[in-house]
Structure formats: C-alpha cells, structure tokens
Amino acid sequence: MKLSPAEVAYVRSKGLYITEKCDACGKLLNQTVRRTITGKPEGYCSAECRDLVFFEEGREARKRVNSGKCGYCGASLQGKRRDALYCDHLCQIRADRRSNGAMTGKPQITVTPTQRNEQLTEAKIGG
C-alpha cells in the first residue's frame, strides 16, 4: 500500500526513502525485503502477515510459519500430529496466557460486599 503524502513527508524528514507500508499490519516496508503472494500486487512486511492474508485462518498461518517447531518454546514437533502447534499441553496453556495478557500487569484485588460493609462499619466507629 502506498504511503499518503503526509506520511511520505514525515518519512523524508527522517532521512528515509520508503514509499510503501504493509497491506496487512501497516508497518513501513523495507525496500529490499518485500513478501508477496503470487499474482497479487500487495506487499507484506513478514511471512506471518503474508500467511495471515493468504490462509485467512490464524491457526493455519501460525502452523505454516513455525512448521516443525513448538509455537511457545521452539522445541521440535517430531512425532506429533501434522496440525500440532505446541509440543505439549503446558506450552499451549502458556501461549494462551501470554496472548491473552493474563500474566501481565498488576493483579487486581477484588473487594467483596462483606468487606465493603466491614470497612463502612469501622469508619463509623472510628469517626
């Protein structure tokens, strides 16, 4: 996808000569490495972006990009099913947690209704 005139002006101000961005994710395309699909004019920044568009299904694209390796730890998938993405169940769980962001950020402390009532009661007594 071609850059808009405003984007071209910004890129030129940084001293770069880039005229295109990825048709899938919008990242700037390096002029020396441009991945395409045969017979289509679109350009993509990586094999992952190209495969996501080509296969139209995330699971199939991930399988093609990391063929033969676990999607989480990179271990060999030799002896596993042909459509396997992970070497074992633990890697699958860890990858799901990483993609959902379950292990990032601060844990949130929930306050139950009983705890709120106790806080109000203590406030009335103290004040």
The percentage of the chain sitting over the pLDDT mark of 70, rounded to a whole number, equals 70
Residues 43-61 have pLDDT tens digits of 888 877 887 788 776 666 6
pLDDT(2) > 60 = yes
What is the DSSP secondary structure assignment for residue 35, as one 8-state letter? B
pLDDT tens, residue by residue, 25-34: 888 887 777 7
Q: How far apart are CA 35 and CA 23, in angstroms?
A: 11
pLDDT digits (tens, 9 = 90+) for 5-43: 898 898 889 888 888 888 888 888 877 777 888 888 888
- pLDDT grade for 125, boundaries at 50, 70 and 90: low
For the chain, domain boundaries: 1-65, 70-103
**pTM for the model:** 0.44
DSSP classification of residue 24: T
What tokens does 16 get?
């770069």
